[in-house]
Structure 1
Amino acid sequence: MGKKKDLSEDERQEIVECLGQGMTTIKIAKTTTLSYRQLHRIKRAAVKMPCHSSKQVFKAAGASNVPRTTRCRVLQRFAAVRKSSFQPPLSIAHKEKQLQWAQQYMKTDFKTLLFTDECRATLDGPYGLSGGWLVDGHPMQTRLQRQQGSGGVMFWAGIMGREIVGPFRIPDGVKMTSIMYVEFLKEHFLPWFKKKNRAFRNTIIFMHDNAPSHAAKNTSACLAAMGIREDKLMVWPPSSPDLNPIENLWSIIKRSVYDGGRQFTSKQQLWEAILSSCKAIEADTVQKLTNSMDEKLLLNKGSYIQM
């Protein structure tokens, strides 16, 4: 019988790593049946085919008969499961307006800028936050799945410097038209605004996006009556949700509210969790969000910002 081929250094290292993980010799044998050349082809296929399944990657590398568990174990050595990132569709006009916005506002003292927006939270929560590691033999957590939708709450908030303004809940069933938006600001934002001193009111810059209720002439006129007019009302470029740092505040709140795959049985219970989450956010965290605006938009000439 001929002599078997010696193991390469990479194969030896792979076996040592598998032994260190407590794998049995049978599992190690299944994992190490691929040659170094095949592993190289698999890695090259994974580079050329981002966000494809393990089956598709191995098929492109000419190793279509490998079991799924082995495919995943091999890919974990140099890759990880990731979700595709989403970007708003930017036309040339959008990029030009974003660049103009950056040229106008990048030298602004963002301590005087109030970023605002609305957010929606559902009773069942996003499914992306419901996963996690599970010890072998323990039962998987069961999640509620309502047939007619889970329902939820809408709320408005703002961030400025080290402070969170709100959050304030939007009544259920209310369609946020210009008239309703103005009434909402008068009831919740205006009392906070009036408590500030004259110097503060003279320097504040109010930011909201280009939603129809925000961009309406009636809204602009009412804000002007409150003292927010001309250069005190920021001109926001279209298709630019990624520029608003308050989007990161929503992520912080939802990670806390839905921690451990938590779900809610009532809107009031959900709202109380949102309020508790906001109270727990430290001022330093808010300041990091409001200070996160930089000159990347200028450097990218108004195009997408790679985080």
Structure 2
Amino acid sequence: MGKKKDLSAAEKSEIVQCLGRGMKTLDISRKLKRDHRTIKRFVADSEHRRVCADKGTLRKIFARSMHRIKRAAAKIPLHSSKQIFEAAGASGVPRTSRCRVLQSLATVHKPSIRPPITNALKQKQLHWAEKYMKTNFQIVLFTDECHGWSSGWLVDGWWDGHPVPTRLRHQQGGGGVMFWAGIMETELVGPFRAPEGVKMTSAKYVEFMTDHFLPWYRRKNYAFHNKIIFMHDNAPSHAAKNTSASMAVIGIKGEKVMVWLPSFPDLNPIENLWSILKQKIYEGGSKFTSKQQLWEAILTFCKQIQAETVQKLTSSMDARLVKLLSNKGSYVTM
């Protein structure tokens, strides 16, 4: 038997199996009809496999661009590893490698839903609370879009002593499943899923509401239409003239539209609904391999939300307004 070409992957696998069964290298060489020295060399190399010189530290290819990556992560906090690497001019790097690099200089955090609050905003909130203090909130339909529950990277030490930055709605874009829902008295309206990859402009928002909200609204009687107050936040697609005109056609206009505070989500009781839903969906460490699987879980758990839970949220508005006034226009936590 003379020396042949290098061992194939199949031969190497069979050698490992034979060694596991207790066979000697000489017997393995006879079985594979390969030179005994070739088998011994493979076994010796496997037993004395070369230890990586950097022992797990970052490769030189990353060391050259580490400063740019760190600067990009600091400049665009709470973004994905792909977005950070693209901003650093290092596109095409596999996800596992990106995360390994970022773990050495950053940590994954979830964004805060609370925006920075100024004295001017506090005054607006106080005026808003005084305006709606006598409102019957059981006739208010609180609506909102949920953009999924995403997180992103923050450079270590960069935000020490400061709260996690907020991520404004129009910046969220990307990950997760985007859907719309509403709560009124004891009823949960929806959820309705937004089209994948579609930017929610005024035209798209009107189209979405026509397809999903309007059928529900038209099933209600005249007395309901006469009393309802519709609340949606002041996102650009909501506040647009085209949106207001379309809502006015079905009678939702003037005092029947609740003027919402700018960038003040924690006053909206539907935000608490998102928290309840999130706890149910991810209870026990559940994970989802696709957006469709996540959406099916959202639908399943929305059906399990009791009317009493919804009523507890909608009836909390009076207490929220009292707390807003007592906090002199500052944050409300319920």
Q: Secondary structure at the match of 1:153?
A: coil
What is the one-letter code of the residue matched to 2:221?
N
Structure 1 consecutive aligned stretches of length 4 or more whose deviation exceeds 6 Å = 83-86
Q: Count the aligned residue pairs.
A: 202
Partner of 1:159: helix, strand, or coil?
Answer: strand
1:193 to 205, 217, 227: 217
Query: Which residue does the alignment assign to 2:264?
Result: 240
Matched ranges for 1:175-254 at <5 A: 175-254=199-278
Q: Does residue 331 of structure 2 align to residue 304 of structure 1?
A: yes
Identity fraction in percent: 67
Hey, what's the Cα distance between the residues in 1 that align with 2:205 and 2:112?
A: 31
The CA distance in 2 between the partners of 1:187 and 1:252, in whole Å, is 27
1:99-143 CA-to-partner distances (Å, cap 9, x unmatched) read: 111111121111100000001226xx769xxxxxxxxxxxxxxxx
Matched, 1:281 2:305: yes
Instruction: Look up the match of 2:186.
Output: 162
- TM-superposed CA distance for 1:239, in Å, is 1.9
Q: 1:91 pairs with 99, 118, 137, which one?
A: 118
Deviation at 1:300, TM superposition (A): 2.2
Q: Which moved more, 1:85-94 or 1:110-119?
A: 85-94
Q: Return the alpha-carbon distance in structure 2 between the equivalents of residues 158 and 86 of structure 1.
A: 19
Alpha-carbon offset, residue 301 of structure 1: 2.5
Letter in 2 for 1:118: E
Deviates more, 1:295-304 or 1:227-236: 295-304
The residue identity in structure 2 corresponding to 1:231 is: E
**Length-normalised TM-score, structure 2:** 0.57
Equivalent residues of 2:267, 2:332 under 8 A apart? no
Deviation at 1:296, TM superposition (A): 1.2
How far apart are the structure 2 equivalents of 1:276 and 1:115? 21
Do the aligned residues in 2 keep the contact of 1:94 with 1:239 (CA within 8 Å)? no
What is the CA–CA distance in structure 2 between the aligned matches of 1:193 and 1:280, rounded to whole Å?
A: 22
Distance verdict in 2 for CA 1:301–1:204, change over 3 Å: same
Aligned mates of 2:212, 2:315 — CA distance in 1: 25
* Map of 1:20 onto structure 2: none
Q: Could you tell me whether the CA contact under 8 Å between 2:281 and 2:298 is conserved in 1?
A: yes
Aligned pair partner of 2:133 in 106, 117, 126? 106
Give secondary structure in 2 for the equivalent of 1:167.
strand
Q: Which residue of 1 aligns with 2:286?
A: 262
Structure ranking higher on relative contact order (CA contacts 8 Å, 6+ apart): 1
Q: 1:86/1:181 Cα in 2 relative to 1: closer, same or farther (>3 Å)?
A: closer
Partners of 2:112 and 2:182 lie apart in 1 by: 25
Structure 1 portions without partners, runs of 5+? 1-82, 128-149
Can you give the 5+ residue segments of structure 2 that lack an aligned partner in the other structure?
A: 1-109, 153-173
Deviations 1:189-224 (A, max 9, x none): 011111101011011000011111011111111111
Greater Cα radius of gyration, structure 1 or 2: 2
Q: What amino acid does structure 1 have at the position aligned with 2:122?
A: K
Superposition TM-score, scaled by structure 1 size: 0.62
Name the residue aligned to 1:115: 142
For 1:121 and 1:306, the matched residues in 2 are separated by 21
- Contact conserved, 1:111 with 1:290, CA < 8 A, in 2? yes
